[in-house]
Amino acid sequence: MYLVDTCVVSELRLIEPHPSVLAWFRSVRSSDLHLSSITIAELQRGTQMVRAKYPLFAEELESWLEEAMIGQFSILPFDTAAARDWGRMGIKGDDKNSLDAMIAAIARTRDLTVVTRNVKDFVPLDTYCVNPFEYLG
């Protein structure tokens, strides 16, 4: 079972996603793939950041988020167990570290593997990871 990080689902949005990422997704059952509520928040924040300058693109992103992400993946919440696990990590630093730690806590409390390009950010959090960008199929 996998918890897919924001950088990986964002790759799927590209016109030409990385071939290894596509191959990895084809190799896994869709029922084994989950997103975190943190990833949904990050994607929504990204949509909001482009809204003022590129309103049509923001609407396209909004539709993709609703249909391809929320409509296709199981979304796992940052629940009490994850919140307590995150609190025990004692994370210090910027917003990105904190968000990655929240994703790690969701994965750790559910015994999931995080699917990310940023393995180096998750390994110190004692989280199992796989990098689909390095998948050799």
- Boundaries of every domain in the chain: 2-36+75-134
> How far is 8 from 131, CA to CA, in rounded Å?
9
Beta-carbon neighbour count of residue 111 at 10 Å?
8
pLDDT tens for the chain, residues 1 to 137: 999 999 999 999 999 999 999 999 999 999 999 999 999 999 999 999 999 999 999 999 999 999 989 989 999 999 999 999 999 998 766 656 889 999 999 999 999 999 999 999 999 999 999 999 999 97
CATH topology of domain 2-36+75-134: Rossmann fold (3.40.50)
Contacts of 94 (CB under 8 A, 6+ apart): none
Tell me what pLDDT residue 137 has.
79
> How far is 19 from 60, CA to CA, in rounded Å?
23
Tell me what pLDDT residue 12 has.
92
Tell me what pLDDT residue 94 has.
60
Q: Which helix (H) or strand (E) holds 4?
A: strand 2-4
The predicted model scores a pTM of 0.92
How many angstroms separate the Cα of 116 from the Cα of each of 27, 48, 56, 66, 86? 16, 23, 29, 21, 18
Tell me what pLDDT residue 97 has.
80
Contacts of 80 (CB under 8 A, 6+ apart): none
* pLDDT, tens digit, 9 for 90 and up, residues 18-35: 999 999 999 999 999 999
- DSSP-derived letter for residue 83 is H
